[in-house]
Structures are given as C-alpha cells and as structure tokens.
Amino acid sequence: MGQNTNSRHRRNIVFRLLKAIQASGKKVFQTVEGTTNAMFGPENNPLYYLGAMTFFFLYILLISGIYIYIFYDTEVTGAYASVEYLTHTQWYLGGIMRSLHRYASDAMIVTMILHLLRRFFNDRFNGARSFSWITGVPMLWLVLITGLLGYLLVWDKLAQFIAVHTAEWVDWLPIIAEPVARNFLTNGGMTNSLFRLLVVTHLGVPLFLLAAMLLHTNRLHQPKVNLPRPLAVGTIVSLLVLAIIHPAVSQAPANLAVAPGRLHLDWFYMAVYPLMDTWSAGAVWALIGGGTIFMMLLPWLPPKRRDPAAVVDLTQCSGCNLCVMDCPYEAIRLELRTDGHPRFIHEARVIEDKCVSCGICTGSCPFSTPFRHTQKLASAIEMPHADMQHLRDITSTALQELSGERRVIVFGCDHSMDITKLGHACVVGVRLECIGMLPPSLIDYALRHGADGVFVTGCRMGDCFHRLGNKWTQQRLNDERKPLLPRKVARDRVKFFMAVEADRKTLLRELDAFCHVLSAPLTREKQVHVGEGGKGA
Ligand code: HEM
Ligand code: SF4
Ligand code: SF4
C-alpha cells in the first residue's frame, strides 16, 4: 500500500515536470513564432513547415547524392582522392554538390529535432497522433545512421574516428560474435568489400527512410509535405550561399596506424561521441536505448482521459461528404447506406480509433444548426459529450451573461488561449475543443439572440492544434467552404482574429477596436474582417 502510494507520488512528480517543460517550451516557440510570422508571414513561416522542410532536405540529399556518386570511387584506396577531386578540382559543381549534401544533412537534423520538440511542447503527439510519433522515433535513428555512414565514406581522419568509436561501442553488445573493431586495427583490416558494404548501406537506408516518411504522414488528412515556393527557394538559396562561402572539406586522409589528432566534429551527428571517451559503452547504450524507449512510451505517459469519438445519426445524415473532407485525421469514411434510405446512397462512418474528438465534423455538417424546433437538437454527426444541444445551451448561457452597451460573444478554442478570462466588461467567451467545431449558423444564432457582435478566435493561422480547424473556419466565414455563414448575417458584426496566449494584448486591442466598430452604424460589408495575431506581437 505504502509502496503504491510512493510510486504514484513519484509518477505524479514526473508528469508535473513533463507538463512544466511542455509549458515553458510552448511559450518559447510561441514567442519565436510571433517574430518569424512578422518576418515571413504565417503562410511562409518555416516553423510551421518543419516536417515539410525535413522532407525538402531529403530531396536535396537525394539529388546531390546521385551527382556525387557518379564521381565517387567505392574502393577504400580511392574514396578519399575522389572526394578531394570533387571538392577542389570540380569545386564549381562537384564541390557545391558535396557542400549541399553536407549542409542539407545537418539542416535535416535541426528541422527534425525542432519538429519533434514542437510536437511535444504543443502536446501534439498522443491520441491519434501517437502513430506519427511512434513512426517518427525510428526515423531519427535512420537519419543518424545514414549521416554517420556518409561521414565514413570520405575515409578521412573523422571517418576513422567514427569507425573506431562506433565499432568499440557496438562490440559492447553481447550479440556480435566477431569483434567489429578488429576491422579497424590496421589499414589492411578495412577491405574493399567491407567499404563497399558501407557504401551500399549508406544508399539503402534512405530508401527505408522514404518509406517510413510516407507511413509517418499516412493517417493525416492533407499533410504539409511540400514547402510553399518562396520558402523552398529561400532554403535552397541559403544552402547555396553557405556552400559557396564555406565549402565542406575533408580532414586529413585516414590512417589506421596513427590515432587521429585534433578533429572538427559535426555536432549535429556526433554529439554523443565525446561521451564515449568518458562513459563506459554500457552507460552510453543505456542513455540512448533508454531515451529511445522513453520516447516510444511518451504518448501514453500520462494516460489521457479520452473524450468519446464522434457519432453519426443515420436518421439525419444525407451522405453529403462534407465531414469526410474536413476531418483532419482521416477518421470518417463515406460508405454505402446500411439503412435502405430511399434517396441517399451513402452514409458517414466514424473510425473510432482514429478519431481525436476534435469536433470539426460537427462544424462541417449542414445539419448542425441551433434553429431547429425539435424536442432535442441533434445533428447528423456530433460529439456525445458536446452535441448540438450542448453548443446551443452554452451559447445561450453566455448570451444571458452579457451586459453593457456593446455585447460581444467570443468563440475560441481550448488550445490557443483562455478566452474565459479576457477581463473585458461587455465580452463573454465560449470555449470549444477546436474553432473548426463552430457551425456558422451558431454565429447567426448568437447575433439574433442578443449579441451585437461575434468575435471568432483560435490558434494562429498555419498552426491549428487540430491541424485544419482554423483554416476551415476562415474559409466558411469567407464564403469559400460549406457550410457557409448565412447570407443574412451582417459581415461587419463578425470578426475573425486568430491569436495564442502570447498575443493576448493584441487580441484585447482588436476586441476594443471591434466594440468601437459595433458602435458605428453598420456598413453592410461583404466580407468578414479577418485578422491574425502573432505578427511580432
Ligand atoms: C525524417 C524525419 C521526419 C519528417 C520528414 C517528418 C515529417 C512530418 C510531416 C510532413 C508531418 C505532417 C505535418 C502537418 O501536416 O502538420 C509530420 C507530422 C508529425 N510528426 Fe513528423 N517528421 C519526421 C520526424 C518526426 C519525429 C522524429 C517525430 C517524433 C518522434 C515526429 C512526430 C510527428 C508527429 C507527432 C506528427 C503529427 C503532428 C500533428 O498531427 O500535428 N516526426 N511529420
Ligand atoms: S471529431 Fe470528427 S473531425 Fe475530429 S477526428 Fe473525430 S471524426 Fe474527425
Ligand atoms: S456532413 Fe453530416 S450529412 Fe454530410 S456526410 Fe457528414 S454526417 Fe452526413
């Protein structure tokens, strides 16, 4: 009993520590992203495209790698000279390709780690996302192994250092009968066939990586795998400039008879190597193996209370496909009707395992309307814990709380900022799991039942916690995506302004300005006013 309490106590401390790390990391990212938004705009913000950037660097690696391979000598005796030829004699193309290969692989590590940290800090790695997380962990290994093998192929002093240290480290494992380090005791130990094996492995591992990358994004709807053109051009130009002003060069040729002296390590790939000098091989295995296992378990630590999955009501569903197109997690399928409906051929079917209960499908469904006069409101697809009746009830309660000259209702999401504490006299907030859950007809409802204005907010554009919720909402309010905001709603009574906690002051200013606009006579604007926080805020 006492032991159980102790271990629960220890677990609580770990969870609280993890939460504190997440909160601080999130704050740092939000602040930096505010600046990068101001510099590049949300549509080209590199921090919103870290996964796609990692893909992009792999493409550069594949193209530059093919070029290098044309001139590369796969024999251990000629490898170094062939790389030297590319670097110095053919510096104008071969040298640039080599540098692009080197810098793209470093950049790939940076974007991959930032991508990982960002998912972790923003709590976007569990539930349905745990599949992407778990497939991501082996990708870390595949990238590191490919990079280290690449360094070996230069067969210079750095390659010698990596070969000897890695072999000694691997030999610690009891699974290999013949010590690998024996191959690196003398120059004769490194044979051409062993060297070719390293070359083939360096070329083969990226194929697994490509396959893993496709699997990694398999469960996401419209994953951001391609960079917008300005970002792609900017990235390649930066790499080219770096390649020209600071070309990648080799260190002295490998000589297994002489221990390497001073070396320039690539810290992106070799940060763990100096540890091997001070720690035992077993301790380094424990660190790396333990770290990998911890990462694999992370989506289940702490176990999250899961809201129930979305539920389809066949008596309402017409099989219109809108929810299928909007679900960010591919959790809804359109299937043949099972109830023999005389008019409709298809019905929506939720795949419970993939559903994260974001509620975006409720916002997509044309039957999600608060205006029905049935005994109990019901939509064709809703969240059992937050159905249409509940959405109307919380909106009505909020409307009753409004007082003052200008009454504004703010619809926001659970993941951007706490809109229930805006400290604004004539404003009341209604929180949804995702802003994409808001049916446009609920805005109409709020305006007809006492609100002078509706302020819609959520995560910054380009970075929705539920991936696509803010984008769909913006399109619905802009008359670009169904269900549309009803035509009769005066557009200047609605404001769409995306902001996170770091943009609180800007959001409050925008709210003030909105209240001011509401005091003036309506101008019958055709478009909802769209704004964005985090532009240097
Ligand atoms: C070669 C390395 C990697 C590449 C190219 C890559 C690429 C991507 C891309 C393109 C997405 C979709 C992003 C979006 O549409 O919002 C994604 C999502 C994701 N990645 Fe990676 N990734 C890599 C490594 C990792 C690693 C190491 C982890 C963590 C261990 C990870 C965790 C995730 C998670 C959890 C998601 C889902 C995020 C969400 O739904 O918001 N990835 N990745
Ligand atoms: S709540 Fe709806 S939109 Fe969200 S994941 Fe589940 S089925 Fe998809
Ligand atoms: S949006 Fe609504 S009506 Fe259309 S398929 Fe989905 S559940 Fe059915």
CB of 146 sitting under 6 A from ligand 1: no
Compute the distance from residue 392 Cα to the ligand 1 centre, in Å: 36
pLDDT level of residue 534 (50, 70, 90 thresholds): low
Tokens at 428, concatenated: 């009341």
pLDDT in tens, 22-65: 999 999 999 999 999 999 999 999 999 999 999 999 999 999 99
Compute the distance from residue 326 Cα to the ligand 3 centre, in Å: 11
pLDDT value at position 524? 60
Determine which of 364-378, 477-491, 503-517 has the lowest per-residue pLDDT on average.
364-378
Sort 224 into a burial class: Cβ within 10 Å, 0-12 / 13-18 / 19+: middle
Mean predicted confidence (pLDDT) in 197-214: 96
**Contact predicate 365/332, CB 8 Å:** no
pLDDT level of residue 128 (50, 70, 90 thresholds): confident
Mean predicted confidence (pLDDT) in 143-147: 97
Average pLDDT, the chain: 92
pLDDT value at position 209? 96
pLDDT value at position 536? 39
pLDDT in tens, 300-353: 887 667 899 999 999 999 999 999 999 999 999 999 999 999 999 999 999 999
Index of the ligand 3 atom closest to the CA of residue 322 = 1
Mean predicted confidence (pLDDT) in 198-224: 95
pLDDT in tens, 70-112: 999 999 999 999 999 999 999 999 999 999 999 999 999 999 9
Determine which of 187-196, 235-244, 323-332 has the lowest per-residue pLDDT on average.
187-196
pLDDT in tens, 3-34: 677 777 777 788 889 999 999 999 999 999 99
Tell me which of 228 and 374 has the higher pLDDT.
228
Ligand 3 pocket (Cβ < 6 Å) reads 312, 317-323, 348, 364-365, 367, 380-381
CB of 55 sitting under 6 A from ligand 1: yes
pLDDT value at position 537? 35
Atom 5 of ligand 3: nearest residue by CA position: 319
Above 50 in pLDDT, residue 243? yes
pLDDT value at position 279? 94
Atom 43 of ligand 1: nearest residue by CA position: 51
Q: Which ligand is nearest to the CA of 131?
A: 1
Could you give the 3-state DSSP secondary structure of residue 394?
Answer: helix
Compute the distance from residue 307 Cα to the ligand 2 centre, in Å: 11
What gap in Å lies between CA 211 and CA 193, rounded to an integer?
Answer: 27
Compute the distance from residue 319 Cα to the ligand 3 centre, in Å: 5
DSSP state of 418: -
Compute the distance from residue 205 Cα to the ligand 1 centre, in Å: 19
CB of 260 sitting under 6 A from ligand 1: no
pLDDT in tens, 382-439: 999 999 999 999 999 999 998 888 899 999 999 999 998 888 778 999 999 999 999 9
Sort 460 into a burial class: Cβ within 10 Å, 0-12 / 13-18 / 19+: buried
pLDDT in tens, 437-484: 999 999 999 999 999 999 999 999 999 999 999 999 999 999 999 999
Give the H or E element holding residue 121: helix 96-121
Q: What is the 3-state secondary structure (H, E, C) of 459-520?
A: CCCCCECCECHHHHHHHHHCCCCCCCCCCCCCHHHEEEEECCHHHHHHHHHHHHHHHHHHHC
Rounded to a whole number, what is the distance in angstroms from the first to the last CA of the chain?
Answer: 51
Tell me which of 148 and 300 has the higher pLDDT.
148
Above 70 in pLDDT, residue 512? yes
Partners of 131 in the β-ladder:
none
Index of the ligand 1 atom closest to the CA of residue 209 = 1
Q: Tally Cβ neighbours within 10 Å of residue 8.
A: 10
Q: Which ligand is nearest to the CA of 365?
A: 3
Compute the distance from residue 131 Cα to the ligand 1 centre, in Å: 10
